[in-house]
Amino acid sequence: TLVADVLSSALDLLPSLNSIPTALPSSSDSHAPSEADLLALEAMTLHPSWLEHLQDELRKPYFLELKRFLWSEGLRGTQDRQGGKLKVFPPARDVYAWSRYTPLRDVKVVILGQDPYHDDGQAHGLCFSVRPGVKIPPSLRNIYKEIKEEYPEFDVPKHGNLTALARSGVLLLNTSLTVSPHKAGSHSNRGWETFTDKVIDLVDRYGGHKPEGDAPSPDEGAEEMGRGVVVLAWGAWAAKRVAKMDKKKHLILTSAHPSPLSARRGFFGNNHFRQANEWLMQKYGREPSPLPPARTGAARNHRSSATSLLT
């Protein structure tokens, strides 16, 4: 499975990097969690491509304090249930799902969310996305509506699961990665925003990984080899998060949020998907765009195959 593959790779990677211990947390409530306890989830579920660059961040005092808070909330390593009920959303195995579905070298597009859905059975680690069989949330319905307006041939999915989109190179990142059940924003300003700012910094540097053999330009350092990405930052808080990114390297598109409360104040009609696809065509040539509608240079005048990205 995907998680098993990531775990195997992570365990191979960590010793060579002198990184995070991978001991599982103690089940005793009286046990004061060690660093190994606190960071067991990261060691086992963060994709190695991200973990390699984030391992120092994980040991910073703010992040360990965040993990102590989550421990007190009931998220203890990979243990996330008490009395059979989830104490934190999403489930532990999904907190870093974005990293496994979209490894750092694969990122071509970033879509930012704020915090996970807080109702039962919705959140699974990808912003705006819900599990199969769950009703499509209003914000995602509005995203589909905008794509349909820009591309009338787009077949609107009957579900809200965006896993296939994430696999194709779209990083679906919430700026806060957990939430208490039925309490919107309950884990905001606890440290997640600082951590995901670091994730965005990595995308700024490496996003749009260049194929093997591509030489850097004369003014480009060895660590700045990413070709650039599209960033869709909807809402003022999202725009603030990406304000420091290199605007010459990336296409950064901002507008109102797709929430029903704000979609008619600048989200509808923003033309972001068309702008993004045109930029990706120029930047990546004949490589398929990860955004719907999916088109290559040879197929851009034919009917979209967008639905395949969302199923």
Residue-wise pLDDT for 122-132, tens only, equals: 999 999 999 99
| Averaged pLDDT score across all residues of the chain | 84
pTM of the model: 0.84
Report the range of poorest mean pLDDT among 27-31, 115-119, 133-137, 265-269. 27-31
* 294-298: long-range contacts, CB 8 A cutoff, minimum separation 24: 294/168
- Dist. CA 289–CA 306, nearest whole Å: 10
* Residues with catalytic roles: 115
Beta strands 230-234 and 251-255, pairing class: parallel
**Which band of pLDDT confidence, cut at 50, 70 and 90, is reported for residue 292?**
confident
List, as one string, the DSSP characters of the chain: -HHHHHHHHHHHHHHHTT----PPPP--TTSPPPHHHHTHHHHHHS-HHHHHHHHHHHTSHHHHHHHHHHHHHT-BTTB-EETTEESSBS-GGGTTHHHHHS-GGG--EEEEESS---STTT--SSTT---TTSPPPHHHHHHHHHHHHH-TT----SS---HHHHHTTEEEEESS--BBTTBTTTTTTSSHHHHHHHHHHHHHHHSSPPPTTPPPPTT--TT------EEEEESHHHHHHTTTS-TTTSEEEEE--SSTTTGGGTTTT--HHHHHHHHHHHHHTTSPPSSSSP--TTTTTS---GGGGG-
Average the pLDDT over 107-111 and give the result.
97
Average the pLDDT over 87-92 and give the result.
92
Report the range of poorest mean pLDDT among 44-53, 158-167, 223-232. 223-232
User: Looking at per-residue confidence, does 292 or 293 come out higher?
Assistant: 292
**Which band of pLDDT confidence, cut at 50, 70 and 90, is reported for residue 277?**
very high
Identify the pLDDT of residue 310: 57
Identify the pLDDT of residue 24: 47
Whether residue 57 is predicted with pLDDT greater than 70 in this model: the reply is: yes
pLDDT in tens, 196-248: 999 999 999 999 987 654 444 444 444 457 899 999 999 999 999 999 999 99
Topology (CATH) of 94-212+224-284: Uracil-DNA Glycosylase, subunit E (3.40.470)
Q: Measuring CA to CA, how many Å separate 216 from each of 50, 178, 201, 209, 237? A: 22, 38, 20, 12, 33
